[in-house]
Amino acid sequence: MENMKYRQTTGETGLRIPRGMFWLLACVIGFLIIGCYGPAPPKKIEPPGMKTPTQVAAIPQGLTTGGRFKAVCVADLDNDGLLDVAGGTAGPGSVAIWYGKAPGKFDTMISVPVRGDVLDITAGDADSNGLLDLFVSVQQENFGIFQIAQRPDRKWTVREGPPATQFYRGIEVADINNDGFMDIAAANRTSENRSGLQVWLGDGKGGWITQIGPTQQGLYMDVGIADFNEDGVLDIVGAGWGVDANLNMWLGTGGGGWSSVLKLAAGSYYGITVDDFNNDGHADILATTYRAGFNIFFGRGNGRFRFFSIPEDTGSYHTVLAMDMDGDGFKDIVAGSLENRGLRTWLFDGIDKFATIPELFPETGFYYAMVNDDLDGDGVADLTTAAFGDGVKIWLSGRSGALSQGNFNVGRLTVQQTPTDTDIIRENAVFTTAAGIDEYKIGPGDILEITFWKGTTGTREELAVRPDGRISFGYVEDLYVQGLTARQLDGVLSERLQEFIKVPRIDIRVTEFASKYVTILGAVGGWGGTGGGPGKYELTGKRRVVEMLAEAGGPMQDANLRDVRITRKNRQVVRANLYKALTQGDLTQDLVLDDGDTIYVPLVTRASNRVYVFGEVDKPGVYPFVEDEMRIADAIAMAGGDTVFAKREHVKVVRGDIDNPQVISVDFKALAEGGDQTQNLALVNGDLIYVPRSFIGDINRFIKQVTPLFRLIIFPAQTVNEYGRASDYLRGDQTNFP
């Protein structure tokens, strides 16, 4: 969970900063030592000093994640005086790096595969070689903290970081013990008894001496570092998570020691941003929460804080950032939503009032990270954001001039409509999540069974929720129950019954669900049986698309699972690739459904673009692609993957016309085993992908032998003899071929 984090407003050496030199030293020290920041939300505004935002990297070339970024940082990685950008993606994970080539302009993206979802990213020089390395927190396939070490030739190597084999979210780098070497602090969310905040002291050679974190207990989502009491020693603040969580602080005592915990506020917190929000020279804290907006704590310079009236006390935000968006000299607020509400913006009058600015930034989307730094060298901070499903974006600030399109030279820049991250949907019209349990919301037409207990004897009564959302039970008349869960209703009804019964005991459950539905249309019902096929289906709680399709009898054989469309009540249409959900476990494609959704499963059309996969694969055949782009890894995966006999390093793609086909060699082994995305060839309509069993030495002979298959595909009415020879290829029988 990367944020602005006070790196730009405190000296990372731990020395107290005279106020007269505060901002000058902040820019120099905060950038050189810390370098990068992590997740913070974007903004939307068009006041005098802010230009209209331009998207520049929705889907970086070579990434197959659809631009699912959760982390971003900005730093001069190669010491050329130009700022560079690095972003971290999820599922499969990678780090994308864009080197600056001119103010506000960037070179082609470099992709570094990381086995796992990148949740946070920051930069620092751990080995004292003068080059900034990247540090990422990762989970899924791998978990822990990893170092992506930079070489002078702009090559990057993934290495293990500190001995951190647990689940970490936010990370920070700073010289915490004042020895001149970079240290790492990380927020641990493994379990209540194996979490806390960890701090590893660096030895200046890329190694780690010891772990001196202030606590090993409690779940934490993010960490912030600054000298809050201005004693020359860095302090630490942690974003607690869970039922009994707090926003906690520990003051540094020097040499890596810590004070006892100081509780700033109760509640579950996502992200921490440290900045001098009110320009008084003291470090302030902005903290985002789960379903309670964000909080602002004004520092007094002595380790104590004043809670400030906040402009937003509802909703879940992952990150928050302070920057002057209207040029009035006062910092304003941008916050990134976790509830598909995009970037929210508030202008601050410098005293005590905020004004909401609508339509300044995207009003939909999930924004996990943002950084403000002067990318184009005009002396005004610009905004860089990371959004799940929407890639990396920059908004250039300035007093004049227009934004140029395509500041990132990444080839074809397109926007892919990616379904929402279903792991963060905790409530809609159908269900709500409490204490990790998904509970159905009661509605009109539902049948409730209420058991009233007298001693050990229970009396059951069934009640239908009336169209007005009310019920009557015993002495309680016209109780409004719509939108409550059974557990919530139990509490409300018990409280009402206490007016008549001293200690009422009741149990409530929903026995019939009749208030919430989805409609399923198209190519479904392919598994046969009764009750399947297109129609209307009840929602009985948190349900996903694949689950409901199974209830409808499953997809038909010719269903196009790569382009399933879900239409919401508000007419928004979301496309989902259920093939990825089924074969790769990609839950972002298996959407959580809401009341009134319509699911449409189309048929595969003959006019669709398609490729042909044959040779050493489990299911040779024809495979369509309906998305803007299909790559060779996708095609081989659709064909069931390669067999144990496949010669992975000699895969061939045949492209072009019959008389003069082009043969492209692909080292699929380097792609599948080493993560070399340069081998993940973008396919075009009509490509033939051949996975051989042995080395192909004579390309001319290969072309001659494959021509019958090429002709068969383009002209189906070929001779039986040619079909027989072609079918040998489809089966992988290479007796007569190289």
- Tokens for 292, please give them: 């309670």
Say if residue 210 is exposed, middle or buried (CB neighbours under 10 Å; 0-12, 13-18, 19+): exposed
CA distances from 320 to 2, 42, 381, 574 (A): 10, 8, 16, 27
Q: What is residue 57's predicted lDDT score, i.e. its pLDDT?
A: 34
**Rounded Cα–Cα distance for residues 19 and 276 (Å):** 12
User: What is the DSSP annotation of 464-520?
Assistant: EPPTTSEEEETTEEEEE-TT--HHHHHHHHHHHHTTTSSS--EEEEEEE--S-EEEE
Task: State the pLDDT confidence band at 589, using cuts at 50, 70 and 90.
Answer: confident
Specify the pLDDT at position 660.
66
| Residue 406 confidence (pLDDT) above 50 | no
Check if the beta carbon of residue 252 is closer than 8 Å to that of residue 233.
yes
Q: Residue type for 390, please?
A: D
Q: Do domains 517-601 and 609-731 have the same CATH topology?
A: yes
What confidence tens digit (pLDDT) does each residue in 268-303 have? 899 999 999 988 999 999 999 877 889 999 999 999
Determine contact, residues 409/73, Cβ cutoff 8 Å: no
Beta bridge mates, 55: 393
Q: What is the pLDDT of residues 316-348, one digit of tens each?
A: 888 999 988 888 888 999 998 877 788 888 888
Answer for the pair 290, 272: CB distance below 8 angstroms, yes or no: no
CA–CA dist 464, 512 (Å, integer): 9
CATH superfamily of 5-411: YVTN repeat-like/Quinoprotein amine dehydrogenase (2.130.10.10)
Q: Examine the pLDDT at 645 and tell me if it is beyond 60.
A: yes
Tokens (6 digits) for 508: 């409530």
Which DSSP string corresponds to 247-276?
EEEE-EEETTEE---EEEEES-EEEEEEE-
Q: By C-alpha distance, which of 636, 642, 612, 641 is closest to 624?
A: 612
| Cα-Cα-Cα-Cα dihedral sign, residues 115, 116, 117, 122 | negative
Is residue 19 scored above 80 in pLDDT? no
Six-digit token string for 29: 């020290």
Residue 254 CB: number of other CB atoms within 10 A? 12
Among 613, 703, 696, residue whose Cα is nearest residue 663: 703
Q: Using CB atoms within 10 A of its CB, is residue 427 exposed (0-12), middle (13-18) or buried (19+)? A: middle
Q: Are 508 and 450 in contact (CB under 8 A)?
A: yes
* pLDDT, tens digit, 9 for 90 and up, residues 543-588: 999 889 988 888 887 788 888 999 998 888 888 888 777 766 677 7
E strands, 593-708, are: 598-601, 609-615, 621-625, 651-656, 661-666, 688-691
* Contact of 121 with 72, CB cutoff 8 Å: yes
pTM of the predicted model as reported, rounded to 2 decimal places:
0.52
Q: Could you tell me the residue ranges of all domains in the chain?
A: 5-411, 442-512, 517-601, 609-731
Give the mean pLDDT of 668-691. 85
- Alpha-carbon dihedral sign for residues 349, 352, 356, 362: positive
Q: Is the pLDDT of residue 48 over 90?
A: no
3-state secondary structure of 521: strand
Check whether 722 has a pLDDT greater than 90: no
Q: What is the pLDDT of residues 250-273, one digit of tens each?
A: 999 988 899 989 999 998 899 999
Residue 125 has pLDDT above 60, yes or no: yes
CA angle 337, 341, 345 (to 5 degrees): 70
Sign, CA dihedral 507-509-511-514, equals positive
Residue whose C-alpha is closest to residue 520's, from 583, 601, 582: 601
Q: What percent of the chain has pLDDT over 70?
A: 77
Q: Is the pLDDT of residue 49 over 60?
A: no
SS3 content of the chain, % helix, strand, coil (to 5): 15, 40, 50
Give per-residue pLDDT as tens, 458-474: 889 999 999 999 999 98
Neighbours of 628 (CB within 10 A): 10
- 482-517: burial string, b at 16+ Cβ within 10 Å, e else: bebbbebbbeebeebbeeeeeebebebebeebebbb
**Nearest to 52, CA basis, from 394, 378, 355:** 394
- Secondary structure in 3-state letters for 538-595: ECCCCCEHHHHHHHCCCECCCECHHHEEEECCCCCEEEECHHHHHHHCCCCCCCECCC
Q: Return the minimum-mean-pLDDT range out of 180-184, 612-616, 619-623.
A: 619-623
Q: Specify the CATH number of the domain 442-512.
A: 3.30.1950.10
Q: For residue range 21-39, what is the model confidence (pLDDT) as tens digits?
A: 433 334 433 333 334 433 3
The token pair that represents 291 in the structure block = 């379903």
Report the chain's mean pLDDT, rounded to a whole number. 78
Cβ atoms within 10 Å, residue 324: 20
Superfamily of domain 517-601: Outer membrane lipoprotein wza domain like (3.10.560.10)
CATH architecture assigned to 609-731: Roll (3.10)
Q: Give the angle subtended at the CA of 537 by the CAs of 535 and 539, to the nearest 5°.
A: 160
pLDDT tens figures, 440-498? 999 999 999 999 888 778 889 999 999 999 999 988 889 999 999 999 999 999 988 88
Contact between 634 and 613 (Cβ < 8 Å): no
Q: Which of 531, 536, 534 is nearest to 519 (CA)?
A: 536
**Residue 550 contacts residue 524 (beta carbons within 8 Å):** no
Task: Determine the average pLDDT of the residues in 361-390.
Answer: 86
Cα–Cα distance for residue pair 70/66, rounded to 1 Å: 12
Question: What span, in angstroms and rounded, lies between the C-alpha atoms of 733 and 726?
Answer: 10
Find tokens 């789960």 and name the residue: 290
pLDDT surpassing 90 at residue 604: no
Q: Residue 257 pairs with which residues in a beta bridge? A: 254
pLDDT at 531: 58
